[in-house]
Amino acid sequence: MSTLAQKKGFGAVLWDYLTTVDHKKIAILYLIAGGFFFLLGGLEAMFIRIQLAVPNNDFVSAGLYNEILTMHGTTMIFLAAMPLIFAFMNAVMPLQIGARDVAFPFLNSLGFWLFFFGGVFLNLSWFLGGAPDAGWTSYASLSIASEGHGIDFYALGLQISGAGTLIGGINFLVTIINMRAPGMTYMRMPMFTWATFVTSALILFAFPALTVGLFLLIFDRMFGSNFFDPAMGGNTIIWEHFFWIFGHPEVYILVLPAFGIFSEIFAIFSRKRLFGYSSMVFATVLIGFLGFMVWAHHMFTTGMGPIANAIFAVATMAIAVPTGIKIFNWLFTMWGGSITFTTPMLWAIAFIPSFVAGGVTGVMLASAAQDYQYHDSYFVVAHFHYVIVGGVVFALFAGAHLYWPKMFGTMLNEFLGKITFVLFFIGFHLTFFIQHFLGLWGMPRRIFTYLPGQGFETSNMVSTVGAFFMAAAVIILLINIVITSVKNEKVGNDPWGDGRTLEWAIPSPPPFYNFKQLPLIRGLDAYWLEKMEGKKGMSPAEPLGDIHMPNNSFIPFVISFGLFVAAFGAMYRAEHSWGIPVLIVGMLITLGSMFVRSVKDDHGYHIHKEDLEDTNDKGVKA
Amino acid sequence: MKRLAKWRLFSLFAMMALILSACSGKPYLSTLKPAGEVAQTQFDLMVLSTVIMVGVIAVVTVIFFIVVFKFRRKDDRIPKQVEGSHKLEIIWTVIPILLLLILAVPTVSATFKLADVGPMEKKNEEGKTDALVVNVRANLYWWEFEYPNQEIITGQELVVPTDEKVYFNLIASDVKHSFWIPAVGGKLDTNTDNVNKFWLKFDSEKAAEADNYFYGKCAELCGPSHALMDFKVKAVPRDEFDQWATAMAEVKEPKKAETDLAQAGQEVFNNSCIGCHAVTPANTAPEAARLAPNLTNFGDRDRIAGILDHTEEDLKDWLRDPETFKPGNKMTGTYGELSEEELDALTEYLMGLKVMEQ
């Protein structure tokens, strides 16, 4: 790290991360926090599977089971999958477009800390009277009836972390629109960047629906309104609409970046450019667009009537077309290529059959009349785990192995990586394939136990055994991370040897300013083009000059912390006299720090040309 | 070529049939053992979509294996960089659209067919419908079944005639539940806001295979005992149903206990239970006052609380501590501790609450 590279104490490193606005360090923060919540959600999943291993089990009680299933879903979606995706977006996207950072580094940091404090708040419910217990969907009649503060933790926690996500999405949009390097036209952007772009647009339009829904829920539960009380003229179905207008695009928010990561992997490890790049872009945009037209397919049994059901059924089926286009494009990217089976590529290859299986059951679910049978049964559980694990989680594992050298400068062990892959792949199909049949045999989802004599025993045991395989795989990944970090063998710019996009043209990890000189982009797969012409790196698009960098700031942490405090005040307002003062103090911390940010000019600093010249040789060596 | 295609289609169907028959679940519970027109329609759609989807998977799998085996890296050459192929891309856009149309047309037609509740709206001069209508009210964690034409109410065990359309009005009185009889047809939610309507048909032959009892489930998370909110469906021929309905309607006054023990039980019941549980089937009390399942024909039923075997021992266990069997239920703590003598008496009385002579 150029002139600043000195050994720092633990306190200094901690302070650096608490105040950092560097997209690469924020990516690491997202990776650590998301990884932690992923382990937590995984632990909850294990409790679920242990409880369901045998009929009439009493490993956990009925009420506790509902808390665990709610927190498993909520944690995995909001606090694990999304942050981990944000980690890769932050780490890679600015590098892929040849930018020195995101458009608003301060907001990037704020987005992370809001997510983090929201997630911590939500999980503190375990220690403060019980976690939310109305499912991650938190349907209004049940969530209003739920006693204790569980649902309050859910609503307030998600509100805070949701604000962080929204800020992150806007930031990525602006970054991609404004900060592409010279020559990087839209149709030269790497597929992962395109996925980030469309995903951010989805976040921009989908999250406000959740925000509104959560505010209504907060008002109903904490401030005496009656939006969801039919007896008082409210309506619970409105919540279902709000939730799914957000909730369905959310699926694409998760899976489009996964598609992006796989698109990169297929191209790199087949040594071939992405087949049908422009139709891939078109398909991504179309999926994003259609994703907003289909939310009510989650509500076929709510009683919307045959006209609405038929329209949403056909609209949902339409999504299969662009998704199919993508699958075939990936297959034909590999066709005629020179495939090498590295760990990321194994995940990508396994993704195709797994995700296709999830996709076809999606079409079956889209068919409204048969969905009446599948809805809220284990068939649905199997379907969305095939999509989210087979699509998103596979991509996260693949991305972790692929980008680990770019983020940390060292490679994860390939042998251990492959063991993780094999165990997880077997465990995944063992756990979830049989659940299709459990659903068809009449097992509803979200049940804490089942009576013997209904034909569910063997299959549930099989499913539980599979879950242990997945747990073992994750443990081996953790061991792999520890071993790799201890060894810390440094790698060069392009450790996989076949990198195609800009991020592989610069050192691993990149210097904090990313590009000494912004690169000139001459086509799709910019770095590959240069390599094929025998050049070592990118041609610069500008002369060497001063680089303007933002200053670190502790304010994002404080803003987020204020909301965290205020949330406690809002929640305990009704039963404790200190509620209102705490609410006010929390808001004052947040608004005060925002005020400080507004009036205090922060112009950043410049890295001088001369300092950059000093590091010239180092850069080449690395 | 044509013969080959035919043979492949046939073998595909044969394989599907084999798979489905090998693991199709219990006749009283499984959606793969359809026992009525609704479930049959849905099952046919399942088979159609599964065949299409297996076809898609087969194509993907073939390309997948060719790719993975044929194009492994053998030397260090750089493969030709292909931009794409318009012809191929059009093929894999158009064919899926056609496949989806094949599925979309029957889907839309079935969706409308299953939602046709016209006959339950047509009232005759008496204000009753010619079709059999059941008002289902879902509660934490029990079900009430009201027959408006017959003017009777029962709970936990739905009795229906076979081979005719039965129409349902569905509502929930506390939180949202969902009404599902997997073997007979898909589910429909019981909302707190509005009445949902649909119909089901119970096939007599399939009912006989299932010993005339189908399992019903709550399919929407509703609280701790969501998993235990089962009900049973007794599907009987029309004349037997009529006998049952008449016998029920004849109970105008609470049935007098016959033995001394049962009389003692009735006293306990009148002191501790009658505030919530009715033992007459008339639907005169307002919904809000019907706090617990109607017990008029409790002795005829197949389960206690929807989940326990219908034996005296299980009934006593349930009465001693309902909380251990259905956590979060609304019965726990609403009556005092019962002595063993009171339990014996109450059990004798409850088991004697029958309307059918057998």
What part of A 108-167 touches B (C-beta under 8 Å)?
Answer: 134-135, 139, 141-142, 145
Query: How far is the C-alpha of B309 from the C-alpha of B181, rounded, in Å?
Result: 20
B79/A349 CB distance under 8 A = no
Place of tokens 């000189």: A517
For residue A587, what are the β-bridge partners? none
Q: Please give the pLDDT value at position B188.
A: 96
CATH number of the B260-352 domain: 2.60.40.420
CATH number belonging to domain A31-552+601-612: 1.20.210.10
Q: Quote the tokens at residue B319.
A: 């009465």
Q: CA A334 to CA A346: how far, in whole Å?
A: 13
- Looking at chain A, which residue has its C-alpha nearest residue B23? A437
Question: Amino acid identity, residue A441?
Answer: W
Residue A536's pLDDT is what?
86
| pLDDT at res. B2 | 54
Q: Taking 70 as the threshold, does the pLDDT of residue A576 lie above it?
A: yes
Proportion of chain A above pLDDT 70, given as a percent: 97
Q: Report the alpha-carbon distance of residue A258 to residue A86 in Å, rounded.
A: 11
A325–B196 CB contact, under 8 Å: no
Would an 8 Å CB–CB cutoff place A282 in contact with chain B? no
Name residues 320-379 of chain A within 8 A of B (Cβ). Answer: 320-321, 324-325, 327-329, 331-332, 334-341, 349, 352-353, 356-357, 360-361, 363-364, 367-373, 375-377
Rounded CA-CA distance B53/B16 in Å is 12
Check if the beta carbon of residue B262 is closer than 8 Å to that of residue B348. Answer: yes
CB A537 within 8 A of CB A530: yes
Mean pLDDT for A337-366 is 95
Does residue A375 contact residue B187 with C-beta atoms inside 8 Å?
yes
In chain B, what residues touch A358 (CB-CB under 8 Å)?
none
Record the tokens describing residue B59, joined without a space: 């194509």
Helices B86-114 and B37-70 cross at an angle (nearest 10°) of 160
Query: So what's the pLDDT on residue B154?
Result: 94
pLDDT band at A8 (very low <50, low <70, confident <90, very high): confident
Q: Tell me the backbone φ, ψ of residue B354, rounded to 5 degrees.
A: -125, 150
Which residues in chain A are closer than 8 Å to B63, comparing Cβ atoms? 328, 331, 335
pLDDT at A621 over 50: no
The answer to whether residue A412 scores a pLDDT higher than 60 is yes
- Kind of pairing between the strands at B165-172 and B132-139: parallel
Angle at A434 between CA A428 and CA A439, to 5 degrees: 125
Determine how many CB atoms are found less than 10 A away from the CB of residue A575: 8
Q: What pLDDT does A618 receive?
A: 45
Secondary structure letter of residue A600 according to DSSP: S
B103 vs A277: CB contact, 8 Å cut-off? no
Q: Residues B70, B64: contact at Cβ < 8 Å?
A: no
d(CA B193, CA B173): 9
Cβ–Cβ under 8 Å, residues A234 and A228: yes
pLDDT band at B4 (very low <50, low <70, confident <90, very high): low
What was the pLDDT predicted at B17? 63
User: Which uninterrupted H or E stretch holds A210?
Assistant: helix A191-222
Distances (CA, A) of A156 to A149, A218, A434, A576, B273: 11, 7, 36, 18, 42
Cβ distance of B100 and A302 shorter than 8 Å: no
What confidence tens digit (pLDDT) does each residue in A473-495 have? 999 999 999 999 999 999 999 99
pLDDT greater than 70 at residue B21? no
Interface touch A327/B108, C-beta < 8 Å: no
Which residue from A275, A363, A449 is facing B227, i.e. has the nearest CB? A449
User: What average pLDDT does the segment A162-176 reach?
Assistant: 96
* Average pLDDT over chain A, rounded to an integer: 94
Best of A236, A301, A311 to disrupt the B interface (most B CBs within 10 Å) is A301
pLDDT digits (tens, 9 = 90+) for A399-410: 999 999 999 999
* pTM of the predicted structure, to 2 decimals: 0.94
User: For residue A279, is pLDDT > 60?
Assistant: yes
A317: chain B residues, CB-CB within 8 Å: 100, 103-104
Provide, as residue numbers in chain A, all residues whose Cβ is less than 8 Å from the Cβ of B29: 441-442, 454-455
Scanning A197-236 for CB atoms below 8 A from B yields: 230, 235-236
Q: By three-state DSSP, how is residue B146 classified? A: strand
Average pLDDT over residues A217-236: 93
Residue A67: which residues within 8 A CB-CB, separation 6 or more? A130, A131, A132, A133, A150
pLDDT score of A620 = 41
Q: Which residues of A touch B72 (CB under 8 A)?
A: 338-341
Tokens of A302: 């709510």
Chain A: residue whose CA lies nearest to B63:
A331
Which among A443, A157, A275, A321 has a CA at the least distance from the CA of B63?
Answer: A275
Element (DSSP H or E) covering residue B319: helix B312-320
Buried b (16+ CB within 10 A) or exposed e, A112-137: bbbbbbbbbbbbbbeeeebbbbbbbb
Residue-averaged pLDDT of chain B: 90
pLDDT at A25 over 50: yes
- Give the angle A298-A300-A301 at the CA atoms, nearest 5°: 110
How far apart are alpha carbons A87 and A38 in whole angstroms?
A: 13
Residue B13, pLDDT score:
67
Query: Rounded mean pLDDT of A268-293?
Result: 95
Cite the residue boundaries of each domain of chain B with CATH code 2.60.40.420: 27-69+88-116+131-236, 260-352
Band of residue A595 on the pLDDT scale cut at 50, 70, 90: very high
pLDDT for residue A95? 96
List, for residues B103-156, the tens digit of each pLDDT value: 999 999 999 999 999 888 888 888 888 899 999 999 999 999 999 999 999 999
Higher pLDDT among residues A6 and B134, named by residue: B134
Cβ contact A230–B193 (<8 Å): yes
Average pLDDT for A146-155 = 94
Which residue of chain B is at minimal alpha-carbon distance from A307?
Answer: B112
CATH code at B27-69+88-116+131-236: 2.60.40.420
Q: Which residues in chain A have Cβ-Cβ distances shorter than 8 Å to B110?
A: 369-370
Average pLDDT on A596-606 reads 91
- The pLDDT, as a whole number, for residue A4 is 47
For B306-317, the pLDDT digits (tens) are: 999 999 999 999
Q: Please report the pLDDT score of residue B38 as a whole number.
A: 96
* Domain layout of chain A by residue ranges: 31-552+601-612
Characterize the bridge pairing of strands B177-181 and B213-218.
antiparallel
- Nearest-CA distance A464 → chain B (Å): 18
Task: Give the pLDDT score at B128.
Answer: 86
Q: Which residues contact A500 (CB under 8 A, 6 or more apart)?
A: A190, A264, A267, A268, A273, A525, A527, A528
Q: Averaged over B203-214, what is the pLDDT? A: 93
pLDDT at B334 > cutoff 60: yes
Pick the residue from chain B with its C-alpha nearest to A139: B176
Contact criterion met (CB below 8 Å) for B191 and B156:
no
pLDDT of A592 above 90: yes
Nearest to B72 among A145, A339, A363 (CB): A339
The 10s digit of each residue's pLDDT in A59-116 is 999 999 999 999 999 999 999 999 999 999 999 999 999 999 999 999 999 999 999 9
